Structure 1
């Protein structure tokens, strides 16, 4: 038996390292004990930890790696060969050409792949095989059957490449290089295999030398006479050489930035054990498509592990969708947290998002968590909704969740979407019913922060229906073309919070339609936020019924 190592929870970054360390060891089947606020394990399980480290990332992110894009094409080749190419058509040829140009030609010649080839024991010359590949083009009057022989020759070359990449060493080193630059580098950089001046070309050995060997050496030393203390865990240390400078957006180069510390004397240093923990942060934070998410539920070690396990599963389960990934994972995990009463008690949680190479922080209060949970059905109808602004496409689900995370109401977004419905319908991939769902979410949000307490919870639905009824009245008078101008006037008055202007327009409309004005508008006159909720719901009903050709999400 080795020495028992106990690691206690700390700030969010250290906690993500603890969760990552647990994930790596648990994936390998090692025994890791945890209590309320710490992990504990035997130092002997750090044997071959470098292998466990890379195996975790390769296994978890396999289908997100460029390596997978190369080897997964084997299934298509097998399918074509088994049918004697009877199912190979023009689309198949187009896909093959895209695979050659956008996958093989792109990745096989990259520097990281070339570095991996040097570590693989094989006589296969991948770069030579790559040069033999070129797109297959159909000439005028040629048919697919005329190209099958050429396709077979190309497939023979590709199968050699795939077998090479999918070999034990091929996957170990090529996929290993992939996870370094797509996952690990998001959390830390500049040291070990991410140091451009490293002399060790094998990243497994490099990781062991930088992170594992120092721990083993540290554990073997008599630490009673060490004069320094670890900045994180307070363990005794004999020097200050291990700093936080390798952590992205966190550490700093103590040799260049001495002004960052008290009296220019650096004491911000960590022991080798904590350095190992921080190296595991990319296994605690979930990264995909240059975004990341970690939920710092520091109420207990078990909760931190469980909720981030759910986040990772949700994100990687939907890896083929590039929009709303991190937010959907967050929301789904929160919903599970509510339903899992045995393990969780509802409490404030800190959400850390990694976007644009920066960390962004939000504290979700109990009230916001409740709003997100209670709005789960409305939110699900917004997942595929969006709009174009210039050349940029915006996902409404993302914008709604982002507003809630920042404790902002949805009035500005709702106003924009209604204006777009009136002025730029072709760029709107949402229906007015989905705006009503946003109004429902907004009502719950305002109710959660202390407003709307005396209003009927069906007031949004009622206001929307009154707008629809007025529209029908105008349609009966063959005056539907007037509604666009009316809607613009109502939206302008809502934007500047002018109740008099809004009510003057509404009264004129009902006078023209020869209908009595609903008493619901009296509620709106009592409170500014109630006025906006009722007003936007009414306008949404007023413009409802325009062509829904661009409707997305199947909402009705």
Structure 2
């Protein structure tokens, strides 16, 4: 058995390499100096099983077959609960979801591969939603509908048992990921050819991507006169089964049979070797995908760093793509924790973010470069950001926000966070939000944003100083037994900051200090005339005014410098 070596390349090849590494797991050697991966040829044994298993395990909770099986909990409730209109509605929704799925063409084609005598399509025909007349709704549903409900529940139980079978799940789940995860990246090749839709996708993948590599790796290539367009490996002929075009990847490559004018002398030489063909088949696993959207961070400084920022199961703990995207950025920052300070600025250079959107048929890939200033702020405030990840705030009965997502969104948009700080302080005063520490963390992050924009004198020390002024004023009101007046003062200060009314803010401040016969700190004068500085100072003062001495949990340097 020989070895296979693959060197890193452009973003698309790198995404494929990361997908390949995920499948091979510990069986891959990564050379950090020369930037290549190397593995024994025998690691490709049962690769097709590992390929689909990884994809299924990664997306398991979102697959339609898993959602069908999850209705088992509903069946348990039917057996133990009294029938109600609401419970019957749930049964009908289950039937409404399951019946079209299990009679779809992709499922039917899967049944042809499975060796199982269970008449799943016959059972599907028997599934029928339970109807309730107005008269029945007012009667004893338990007595009238129990038999009909049990019949449908038993049918659902048999169907769920069928899909829970190990081999059935293996095939149907592979069909699910084939269309949900692979198809957005591939087109008209192997298991996605219309002529192959009734064939075993595991066998097709092995025949089209694995076997050619094993054959290619076993022969002497010294006399081959062509070269792989991607890796420069020797190839014998331009065309299958010796080499491949990239037209099977969505919006990638040129079909030489249709557009030969793109090539010198009308002859295409853009063919890749079987090894690169295998690598590109792993692109759907290199991207972190959710609901048709995906992200890949092409941190091209090394293969090791590429692996570190793209490979983590935590991405899929999110329920929304936006959350997974934000975690991707934080993952870059977490990787930097192990780097020396000298290397960090280099590591933040030229990080390419590739987003994938399957709904955009004309332009599924979009690209942008991460600002090293933004990444440095995230690095400096990594602890603050980590503490914000699980902070969710109820704004209205139907509207919730994730604080971490809101902060990161503003960071990447280049906007300040005063609107978010203001909103959270109002909710805090109303008793709807208790996270004053979170507000202070956001303020510290925002000070770094302002520093990058030229407000150079706002730092952790300055912010703490104004918080202490607020805390001392609160203590003075407490000594005067007038602590109840502070909420009114806080609202007036917040309104002044929101409208950027410096005069109103200072009037409220002066009156508050006069009431307790204290001298107003002259430091406030420095903030006059500079709206961003006044807002930073003002919100820091208001946080202190709440009577909580907030500890800094940010990075080593509040300004990210």
Normalised to the residue count of structure 1, the TM-score between the two structures is 0.76
Q: Is the 8 A contact 1:242 1:271 kept in 2?
A: yes
**Runs (5+) with no aligned partner, structure 1:** 494-501, 546-556
Q: Which of 32, 46, 67 is matched with 2:28 structurally? A: 32
What residue in structure 1 maps to residue 557 of structure 2?
Answer: none
The structure-2 alpha-carbon separation of the partners of 1:477 and 1:395, relative to structure 1 and needing over 3 Å to count, comes to closer
Structure 2 contact 191–197 (Cα < 8 Å) conserved? no
State the Cα RMSD in Å.
Answer: 4.4
Superposition deviation, residue 477 in structure 1: 11
Change beyond 3 A, Cα 1:438–1:260: farther
**How far does residue 149 in structure 1 lie from its aligned partner after superposition?**
3.4
1:172-217 CA deviation, whole Å, 9 max, x = no partner? 2210111112222343333222334557633223323332233234
In the TM superposition, residue 9 of structure 1 has moved relative to its aligned partner by: 1.7
Give the deviation of 1:440 after TM superposition.
1.9
Q: State how many pairs are aligned.
A: 513
The question of 1:105 aligning with 2:99 is answered: yes
Cα 1:364/1:254, change in 2 over 3 Å: farther
- Name the SS for the 1:375 alignment partner: helix
Cα drift, residue 339 of structure 1 = 5.4
Alignment of 1:482-501 (within 5 A): 490-493=497-500
Structure-2 residue corresponding to 1:155: 153
The question of whether the paired residues in 1 share the 8 Å contact of 2:513 and 2:520 is answered with no
Deviation at 1:71, TM superposition (A): 1.9
Residue in 2 that maps onto 1:376: 385
**1:367 equivalent in structure 2:** 376
The yes-or-no answer on 1:442 pairing with 2:449 is no
Cα pair distance change 1:478/1:155, threshold 3 Å: closer
1:503 CA displacement: 3.3
Secondary structure at 2:183's aligned position in 1?
helix
For the 8 Å contact 1:200–1:206, the answer to whether it is kept is no
- Is 1:176 the counterpart of 2:174? The answer is yes
Report the 3-state secondary structure (helix = DSSP H, G, I; strand = E; otherwise coil) of the residue aligned with 1:171: helix
Query: 1:262–1:191: structure 2 CA closer, same or farther, 3 Å change rule?
Result: same
Instruction: Judge conservation of contact 1:385–1:397 (CA < 8 Å) in 2.
Output: no
Per the alignment, residue 217 of structure 2 pairs with 219
- d(CA) in 1 for partners of 2:260 and 2:400? 44
Q: Specify whether residues 517 and 435 from structure 1 end up closer, same or farther in structure 2 by C-alpha distance, changes over 3 A only.
A: same
Q: Give the 3 Å change call, closer, same or farther, for CA 503–71 of structure 1 in structure 2.
A: closer
Structure 2 equivalent of residue 549 of structure 1: none
What's 2:555 paired with?
none
1:8 correspondence with 2:11:
no
Superposition TM-score, scaled by structure 2 size: 0.75
**Partner-residue secondary structure (3-state), 2:324:** helix
Q: 1:193 to 1:326 in 2, by over 3 A?
A: same
Shift of 1:419: 7.4
**Alignment deviations for residues 351-396 of structure 1 (CA, whole Å, 9 cap, x no partner):** 6353533344443646244134142355236x424768xx997654
Separation in structure 2 between the aligned mates of residue 477 and residue 306 of structure 1, nearest angstrom = 52
Counterpart position of 2:277: 275
2:357 pairs with 1:356: yes
Tell me the alpha carbon deviations over residues 43-90 of structure 1, each in whole angstroms, 9 at most, x when there is no partner: 23334432332122123322221111112333554x459xxx334564
1:164 Cα offset (Å): 2.2
| Residue 534 in structure 1 maps to residue 537 in structure 2 | yes
Cα deviation 1:28-49 (Å, max 9, x = unaligned): x8x4333222222232333443
Q: Distance in 2 between matches of 1:296 and 1:16?
A: 8
Equivalent pair of 1:66/1:178 in contact (CA under 8 Å): yes
Structure 2 partner of 1:521: 524
Contact 2:228/2:271 (<8 A) preserved: yes
Decide whether aligned partners of structure 1 residues 243 and 435 sit closer, same or farther in structure 2, where only a CA change above 3 A counts.
Answer: farther
In structure 2, the residue matched to 1:165 is 163
Paired residues for 1:255-266 under 5 Å: 255=257, 266=268
| Residues 46 and 212, structure 1, Cα contact 8 Å, conserved in 2 | yes
